[in-house]
Structure 1
Amino acid sequence: MSVTLRALLADPELRLTAHADAEALERPVSWVHVSELTDPTPFLAGGELLLTTGLALRPEECAEFVDRLTATGVAGLGFGIGLSHGAVPEALAAAADRAGLPLLEVPREIPFIALSKAVSRAIAAEEYAGLRRTSRAQHELAQAAGTSNGVAALVRKLATLLDAWVLLLDPAGTLLHAAPASAAACRESLIAEVDRLRAKQGLAASGISVGSREVSLQVLGSRVRGFLAVSREGPFATTDHHVINSAASLLTLALEQGDVLRSARRRLRAGFFWLLVHGESLRDAPGDLHAELPAEPMRVLVLHGQRDPDDLLQWLETEKPSAPMFLAEHDGAVVALAAEDDVGWLTSLELRIGISEPCALNEVAEGLRQARQAAGATRRHGGVVRFGELAGGGLLRLVPEDEARAFSESMLAPLRGHDVLRRSLQEWLTQHGQWDPAASRLGVHRHTLRNRMGKVEALLGRGLDQPGVRAELWLALQVLDRPAE
């Protein structure tokens, strides 16, 4: 607790007399300064107890003298009597009372240095107590970090030490731990500030107010391992900030170690999936990896998104449902093995996804091939493509849009401006070259249709009796009839 004017008054060796109300005596004293200048404010920083004998102070200057001290923010004024003045000047006492400036009367036999020593000893004792408190807190935090669930224990211990609520958030701002549990409801009020700190891309901290509470919020780690928020009624002392910083360092280390473990586990999953694809024995693989496999039959999914595979995999691992789902990185993409019921969660995400047909565990290699082919079709259209849909989409799905349209426009260029001939050609091809059905659909006589087809052959310079020509014309008409992308 800070040194106050009341504490100095309570020291019997100083024998001070107060000319101030009780509330004003609670002001903390940062230091003691002695000056006989009529304007000592250039040498003051605020919070000091200014001591003077009033050697150069005239009665008419008292009000201005007090106003300057008040504006500077001094804690109080100590006036030594028995030298320049036998008692505190009435004008000075009145001005101090009017301005609310605490005035302490210092008897002649008490040297000013006695007050300086008293304040210095109190400040030193306070700093030592703060160091001891910080040291004990750091020791308790380190002990908590060494427990089996160190991160959660650290959060709870910090909340106890500071009598505050504490939130630990992941890099996305999702709640990881809260102490007490009811503090979880406060997360929403911090999201805007979390987003602002994240945008700074590096170590950052801020102090904000939420209602009547002060909140200390800081980024954990230079690569944003998470966010630590600590809040309580009233301001944090310097020692409180030391404790918070110690907890932040320990949490950063714990989260970084967790990242190392998660990275190692991802490598294990990648190796496990490689064994599945290559049909190798899985007897020596960790049992908990087997537990992540869904029941057969399962689907193989290949996922692509805006994030790089490592970030995408980390995000999916955090967000995935509790049901068994195997996630791994393979050949620069994220792959998943999921039951049909859980595929819907993945397809609800804004990702490009290829999905295989149902397969058994020993058929994962074929499932991966199918999922890759389906994922390849998403490069043009995005979204989700199932392998079974590829055949339904026809050959046109496999041809790049710009190349297909250029070929079609070139091939059908001779029919440009001959809409009747083009429509007749399309109907005739639709009816597999049968004259009567095509003529009936067009509402013309079959001889009329034969004449039209003769004109088409002449314009195109190609015979319609060749199967290859018919196939190319049909594809060209299909391409030009679909909307351009």
Structure 2
Amino acid sequence: MRLRELVDDAELGLVVRAGAAGLDRAVAWVHTSELADPTPFLEGGELLLTTGLALREDACAELVERLVAAGVTGLGFGVGVSRREIPGELVESAERAGLPLIEVPRPTPFIAISKAVSRALAAAEYADLRRTSRAQHELAKAAGSRDGINALVRRLAKLLDAWTVLLDAGGRPIHAAPASTSLRGLEAEVESIRTSKGPSARILTLDDQEVSVQALGARARGVLLAGRSSGFSTADHHLINTAASLLSLALEQGRSFELARRRLTDGLFSLLLRGEDVNEELARLRLQPPAEPFRVVALGGAADDEELWSRLSAEHPEAFLAEHEDAVVGLVEEGEAGWLVRSGPPAGVSEPCRLAGLAEGVRQARQAAAAAGPGDVVRFAELAGNGLLDLLPAGRAAAFAESTLAPLRGHDELLRSLHAWLAHHGQWDPAAARLGVHRHTLRNRIRKAEELLDRRLDQPGVRAELWLALQADRS
């Protein structure tokens, strides 16, 4: 409520004696006091009412200064009780300080002013509740629409007149409104709240914006961000909390659905391995093996990696992925294995195969993955030299690898480069591409390895021995 609304209420009969320029100030509450200094009992925003019972003429200026410092909205002075009129010094001091000074006539009890303000505050609170209730209904309606999560994020942005972004469990954007919203400068905060076991919601300031960051669900299934240049009100935070609850529920339901779908896919994959005809069931799930011949990719030890599953499912919903023992197994078209193997776990890729030979393809991919290190990709064809290891006792093979590779110990970069170069038959460009370095960099590394090994790598016998040693070292 504004002071002006009180003054304009004819039934109250209030008269402005000073500080008329401040009548648009909001009244947070009404407080009555006859103390010479009531400021210790004020919070700011009050309309202070007094009859001046304890007010001395020489203390008017000091009282006004104290009230202004305390942040009061205005001073109401009741006349006809202890004083016939407002002291002139008080009027002058209030005018100089810009403090609204209102005369309350004798027939108007202070309680009437308190009731008027209380009614106005209650009405405003009720209006806020109704607006919040309608907005919450809109959010719930959006969440239940066909577009679901995306519609909810857009509706929240519109209701708040702010930008909103929804991130998945891995911190990658799922939906944003507007779509061009950038989270630059918020990366550290997002990562902190995504992995923190502490509070799940934070308010922070970025440049000139206030940003709300909320983790969704007890296990941080996602993160909701909202920001704008003007701060969020209490009602706005209610809306953000409502949206966060709805999104948490939707993400949890989506996770349950995905888990059920994965279990179905795993079961159908097992039937495929046994040669069963499950084409009709696959079609119902909108899952079809790729065109033959395809390759099998196995990601070793990744079956329990929820973040990996989430990323692969989000980026490639059409992919045929299944859990087989402790590995994630994917069927991919020839030449399309790259997206699956850029994931971190040891990866193995089979030779081209058909559904009739799926079991063999899985065996090849898993065997290749077993020979790969973290972040490495090994193709089954690269394991041809491993057959020699079976001819050696395990201890002899390990000793051979240890002695052969001893000059390169402590030079992991050289070992990885040597492995990639040998795996690509000494071809510089493919090996450099696999390592993500320039071919000249790879040449320098191989030259350094030659120097440390004191052997010529252009000799077939030397390459064969080193390849055997590398395979024995990884097994």
Task: State whether TM-score is above 0.5.
Answer: yes
- What is the CA distance between 1:407 and its match in structure 2? 7.1
Aligned residue for 1:361?
Answer: 355
State the AA in 2 paired with 1:342. Answer: E
State the AA in 2 paired with 1:359. Answer: C
SS at match of 2:10: coil
In the aligned structure 2, how far is the partner of 1:122 from the partner of 1:43? Answer: 23
- What is the CA distance between 1:406 and its match in structure 2? 4.2
Deviations 1:29-63 (A, max 9, x none): 11111000012223222221111111111122223
Aligned residue for 2:365?
Answer: 371
Range moving further from structure 2, 46-55 or 115-124: 46-55
In the aligned structure 1, how far is the partner of 2:259 from the partner of 2:186? Answer: 29
Aligned residue for 1:425?
Answer: none
In the aligned structure 1, how far is the partner of 2:99 from the partner of 2:209? Answer: 29
Range moving further from structure 2, 330-339 or 17-26: 17-26
State the AA in 2 paired with 1:378. Answer: A
* Contact map agreement 2:29 2:47 (CA 8 A) in 1: yes
Identity percentage of aligned residues: 55
In the aligned structure 2, how far is the partner of 1:262 from the partner of 1:148? Answer: 18
Aligned residue for 2:188?
Answer: 192
Matching of residue 7 in structure 1 with residue 15 in structure 2: no
Range moving further from structure 2, 399-408 or 149-158: 399-408
* Contact map agreement 1:47 1:73 (CA 8 A) in 2: yes
Aligned residue for 1:256?
Answer: 252
- What is the CA distance between 1:244 and its match in structure 2? 2.3
User: Residue 211 of structure 2 is aligned with which of 207, 211, 215?
Assistant: 215
User: Residue 120 of structure 1 is aligned with which of 106, 118, 121?
Assistant: 118
SS at match of 1:186: coil
Deviations 1:66-118 (A, max 9, x none): 23322322222212222333332233233333444332222222111111000
Over 3 Å counting, the alpha-carbon distance change for 1:349 and 1:402 in structure 2 is farther
Range moving further from structure 2, 297-306 or 333-342: 297-306
Q: Which has the larger Rg? A: 1
Matching of residue 395 in structure 1 with residue 396 in structure 2: no
Aligned residue for 1:86?
Answer: 84
* Contact map agreement 2:215 2:221 (CA 8 A) in 1: yes
SS at match of 2:182: helix
Q: How does 1:13-28 map to 2 (within 5 A)?
A: 13-19=11-17, 21=19, 24-28=22-26
In the aligned structure 1, how far is the partner of 2:361 from the partner of 2:71? Answer: 76
- What is the CA distance between 1:311 and its match in structure 2? 3.3
User: Residue 108 of structure 1 is aligned with which of 102, 106, 109?
Assistant: 106
Aligned residue for 1:225?
Answer: 221
Deviations 1:149-183 (A, max 9, x none): 222222233233333333222223322223344xx
In the aligned structure 1, how far is the partner of 2:28 from the partner of 2:341? Answer: 63
Aligned residue for 2:95?
Answer: 97
- What is the CA distance between 1:188 and its match in structure 2? 2.9
Over 3 Å counting, the alpha-carbon distance change for 1:286 and 1:129 in structure 2 is same
User: Residue 178 of structure 1 is aligned with which of 156, 176, 179?
Assistant: 176
- What is the CA distance between 1:312 and its match in structure 2? 2.1
State the AA in 1 paired with 2:244. Answer: A
State the AA in 2 paired with 1:299. Answer: R
* Contact map agreement 1:220 1:252 (CA 8 A) in 2: yes
In the aligned structure 1, how far is the partner of 2:83 from the partner of 2:185? Answer: 58
- What is the CA distance between 1:249 and its match in structure 2? 1.6
Deviations 1:229-256 (A, max 9, x none): 2333423232222222222222221221
State the AA in 1 paired with 2:74. Answer: G
* Contact map agreement 1:170 1:226 (CA 8 A) in 2: yes
In the aligned structure 2, how far is the partner of 1:368 from the partner of 1:108? Answer: 95
Aligned residue for 1:58?
Answer: 56
Over 3 Å counting, the alpha-carbon distance change for 1:48 and 1:20 in structure 2 is same
Deviations 1:277-327 (A, max 9, x none): 12122144130556442221111111036883343222222234x7x5311
Deviations 1:393-431 (A, max 9, x none): 563599899864447889xxxxxxxxxxxxxxxxxxxxx
In the aligned structure 1, how far is the partner of 2:209 from the partner of 2:393? Answer: 60
* Contact map agreement 1:325 1:339 (CA 8 A) in 2: no
Over 3 Å counting, the alpha-carbon distance change for 1:222 and 1:408 in structure 2 is closer
* Contact map agreement 1:313 1:329 (CA 8 A) in 2: no
SS at match of 1:265: helix
State the AA in 1 paired with 2:241. Answer: N
* Contact map agreement 1:305 1:312 (CA 8 A) in 2: no
Aligned residue for 2:430?
Answer: none
* Contact map agreement 2:299 2:347 (CA 8 A) in 1: yes
Root mean square deviation, CA, Å:
3.3
In the aligned structure 2, how far is the partner of 1:155 from the partner of 1:223? Answer: 20
User: Residue 46 of structure 1 is aligned with which of 44, 47, 51?
Assistant: 44
- What is the CA distance between 1:22 and its match in structure 2? 5.7
Aligned residue for 1:453?
Answer: none
* Contact map agreement 2:300 2:370 (CA 8 A) in 1: no
Q: How does 1:219-368 map to 2 (within 5 A)?
A: 219-287=215-283, 289=285, 291-304=287-300, 308-320=304-316, 325-368=319-362
Over 3 Å counting, the alpha-carbon distance change for 1:251 and 1:80 in structure 2 is same
- What is the CA distance between 1:382 and its match in structure 2? 5.9
In the aligned structure 2, how far is the partner of 1:400 from the partner of 1:228? Answer: 57
Q: How many residue pairs get matched?
A: 415
In the aligned structure 2, how far is the partner of 1:400 from the partner of 1:74? Answer: 90
Over 3 Å counting, the alpha-carbon distance change for 1:36 and 1:290 in structure 2 is closer
Q: How does 1:434-453 map to 2 (within 5 A)?
A: none
SS at match of 1:188: coil
* Contact map agreement 2:347 2:378 (CA 8 A) in 1: yes
In the aligned structure 1, how far is the partner of 2:177 from the partner of 2:161? Answer: 10
In the aligned structure 1, how far is the partner of 2:327 from the partner of 2:391? Answer: 21
In the aligned structure 1, how far is the partner of 2:474 from the partner of 2:146? Answer: 59
SS at match of 2:213: strand
SS at match of 1:347: coil
State the AA in 1 paired with 2:196. Answer: K
State the AA in 2 paired with 1:175. Answer: P
- What is the CA distance between 1:122 and its match in structure 2? 0.5
User: Residue 149 of structure 1 is aligned with which of 143, 147, 150?
Assistant: 147
- What is the CA distance between 1:335 and its match in structure 2? 0.9
Instruction: Structure 1: state its 5+ residue gaps.
Output: 411-473
In the aligned structure 1, how far is the partner of 2:401 from the partner of 2:216? Answer: 58
Matching of residue 137 in structure 1 with residue 135 in structure 2: yes
In the aligned structure 2, how far is the partner of 1:227 from the partner of 1:38? Answer: 53
Instruction: Structure 2: state its 5+ residue gaps.
Output: 404-463
* Contact map agreement 1:296 1:360 (CA 8 A) in 2: yes
SS at match of 1:66: helix
Provide TM-score, normalisation by structure 2: 0.78
Over 3 Å counting, the alpha-carbon distance change for 1:304 and 1:72 in structure 2 is farther
In the aligned structure 2, how far is the partner of 1:197 from the partner of 1:484? Answer: 38
- What is the CA distance between 1:338 and its match in structure 2? 1.1
Provide TM-score, normalisation by structure 1: 0.76
